């Protein structure tokens, strides 16, 4: 871990959880909650979980695995956030859409240190990819797309929400900054095909151009579908420096987010004030 400095009043220790996700929901939840507790025991007050951290399996099983926001998984997330006193960004879960024939949403839930629900974001951009001789992904056949950017006020600052493939759409992040985001989160299950070339570059670009902290919690290793995911969970500061990165294996990436640094970067390089095009 890179963050050994003491945490002051203007700083928060944050962690990204990296984990291997399969179709055993109980195992996934135990792993996630054990790592949240491990992070909190080290003084972490903001924890980000990966995309679809609670379940990932065959398309035919998705309807049975999906839950409402009033279901058991969100209830347990609320209990863990309150137990450990952390702001918990629950990467994403399969959210049931309400009718048996409707595709589920890929949905992020943010919980405060009292367990209260602070915000909900449904992944807007769905990853459809077919590489000759390579991976095939068609999220639009499995999920509904969300339609609304979400920026959430939390005890650790305003957090702009995004999930995985959203990372390739800079206009989303500019809108989140317009709404006051200081921290951007991007839980992911980035493919090992694109990860080596694009993951770190895109994370750093979004942090630099928006002068925000970027927290990216990732799935790692092969998943049930056979797709290899890239891992490399990272915390990046508003200057684009990688503060901590976990390349392989389950565990934590951690760093101190010094909010005064974020303000200093925006004052010294006020590019956000120099925009000539308003989306």
**In terms of CATH, what superfamily is 12-273?**
Carbon-nitrogen hydrolase (3.60.110.10)
Where are the domains positioned within the chain?
12-273
Mean pLDDT of 1-21: 77
Kindly name the residue from 137, 164, 182, 212 that is annotated as catalytic.
164
Reply yes or no on whether 123 is catalytic: yes
Reply yes or no on whether 164 is catalytic: yes
Q: Give the integer Cα–Cα distance in Å for 238 and 205.
A: 10
Residue 8 to residues 13, 71, 257, 258, Cα–Cα distance (Å)? 10, 37, 10, 8
Q: What pLDDT digit, counting tens, does each position of 60-100 carry?
A: 999 999 999 999 999 999 999 999 999 999 999 999 998 87
pLDDT value for 133? 77
Mean pLDDT of 151-179: 98
Q: Give the integer Cα–Cα distance in Å for 145 and 138.
A: 12
0.85 exceeded by the pTM? Answer: yes
Reply yes or no on whether 151 is catalytic: no
| Contact residues for 198 (Cβ-Cβ < 8 A; gap 6+) | 168, 190
Name the strands in the sheet holding 242-246, side by side, starting at the edge strand that comes first in the sequence.
Answer: 151-154, 157-161, 183-185, 213-216, 233-236, 242-246
| Contact residues for 69 (Cβ-Cβ < 8 A; gap 6+) | 95, 107, 109, 117, 120
Kindly name the residue from 16, 25, 51, 212 that is annotated as catalytic.
51
Beta bridge partners of 94: 106
Q: Give the integer Cα–Cα distance in Å for 70 and 103.
A: 18
Kindly name the residue from 95, 123, 212, 250 that is annotated as catalytic.
123
Residue 139 scores a pLDDT above 90:
yes
Mean pLDDT, the chain, whole residue set: 94
């Amino acid at each position: 871990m890179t963050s050994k400095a003491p945490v002051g009043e203007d700083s928060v220790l944050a962690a990204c959880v990296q984990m291997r996700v399969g179709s055993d929901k109980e195992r996934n939840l135990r792993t996630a909650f054990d790592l949240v507790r491990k992070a909190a025991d080290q003084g972490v007050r903001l924890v980000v979980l990966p995309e679809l951290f609670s379940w990932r399996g065959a398309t035919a099983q998705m309807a049975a695995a999906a839950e409402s926001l009033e279901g058991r998984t969100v209830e347990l997330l609320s209990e863990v956030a309150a137990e450990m006193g952390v702001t918990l960004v629950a990467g994403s879960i399969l959210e049931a859409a309400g009718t048996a024939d409707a595709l589920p949403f890929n949905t992020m839930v943010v919980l405060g240190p009292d367990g209260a629900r602070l915000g909900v974001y449904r992944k807007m951009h769905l990853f459809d990819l077919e590489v000759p001789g390579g991976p095939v992904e068609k999220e639009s056949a499995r999920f509904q797309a969300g339609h609304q950017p979400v920026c959430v006020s939390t005890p650790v600052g305003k957090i702009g929400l995004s999930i995985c493939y959203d990372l390739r759409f800079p206009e989303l992040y500019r809108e989140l900054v317009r709404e006051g985001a200081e921290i951007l989160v991007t839980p992911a299950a980035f493919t090992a095909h694109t990860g080596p070339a694009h993951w770190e570059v895109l994370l750093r670009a979004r942090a630099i151009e928006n002068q925000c902290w970027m927290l990216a919690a990732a799935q790692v290793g092969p998943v049930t579908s056979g797709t290899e995911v890239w891992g490399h969970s990272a915390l990046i500061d508003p200057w684009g420096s990688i503060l901590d990165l976990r390349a392989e294996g389950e565990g934590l990436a951690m760093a101190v987010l010094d909010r005064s640094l974020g303000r200093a970067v925006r004052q010294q390089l006020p590019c956000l004030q120099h925009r000539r095009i308003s989306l």
